[in-house]
Each structure stands twice: as C-alpha cells, then as structure tokens.
Amino acid sequence: MKKDKKTFLQALKFTLFSISAGIIQIGSFSLLEIFIKDYWIPYLISLILSIVWNFTLNRRYTFQSAANVPVAMAKVFGFYLVFTPLSTLLGNLAEKGGVNDFIILALTMIANFILEFLFCKFVVYRGKENTLAKKEK
C-alpha cells in the first residue's frame, strides 16, 4: 500500500478512535461537572479516562504496533506531562475569564487530537508501525 494512503488510513482510524475517546471524555466530564464545579478536576479525570481508551485502541488498530507497551505508554505519559498542566492552566484561566467550560473543553480536545496524532506517529511508534503479529490482530 502506498505510504500516503497508509498515512491517510491511519489518520482516519485515529480520528474515529479519538471521537470515541472524545465521547468518553465529554460524557465523564458532563457527569462530573454536575457534582464538581471547579473546571480542572472533572477535566483531569475525564482526560485520563480518554487517554487510556485512545492509547489502547490506537496502539493495536491504528499503528498496529508491537512496541513495548510500557515504553510506548511512558512516551505518551511524557506528552501528557507537558500537555495536561498547560491545558489545565489555560482552561482554568479561560473559565475564570468567563469562557464556557464546554467551549474550553472542545478547543482543548481539538488541540489534543492534532498534537497527539503527530506525537504518536513521529515519536511513540516511529519505526514500530505494523509490527503486530498476525495472530495478535
């Protein structure tokens, strides 16, 4: 399969799995927001839930990688060590500035989607794509 077509299919799969992770994030955020009024607590919990879901599906089906799972997860964790505090801080500032929590969440999720795909493609699974054994699929 041509490299451009393969990359397009990866981006499409990543998008679909990210949508499912987004549903988990929005759903859990919405439920938590009922009980917890500070933006950052529901945001962090819902983000963690979506990260675990998205990582699991994308490793197996999008990048089809047999890369060492703890190492791959550590790389993703490194991404979120930067992304999470920055997005939490900016989201909290935006909320205090009067921006609706769901607008903040949507913009954060879009930024996360784009940056995480690029990070996974070029850092986490670089050189380790399509390495899952046929029987594992």
Q: Is residue 132 part of a domain?
A: no
DSSP code at position 102: H
d(CA 11, CA 84): 23
Tell me the per-residue pLDDT of 92-126, one tens digit each, with 9 for 90 and over.
Answer: 999 999 999 889 989 998 999 999 999 999 999 99
Domain residues for 46? 3-126
Token pair 């703890």: residue: 70
d(CA 127, CA 96): 43
Q: Is residue 24 part of a domain?
A: yes
d(CA 99, CA 91): 9
Tell me the per-residue pLDDT of 38-97, one tens digit each, with 9 for 90 and over.
Answer: 888 998 999 899 999 999 999 999 999 988 999 999 999 999 999 999 999 999 999 999
Which one, of 20, 21, 39, 18, lies nearest residue 30 by Cα? Answer: 39
Residues of the chain with pLDDT > 90, as a percent, come to 78
3 has a pLDDT exceeding 90: no
Prediction pTM value: 0.81
Number of domains in the chain: 1
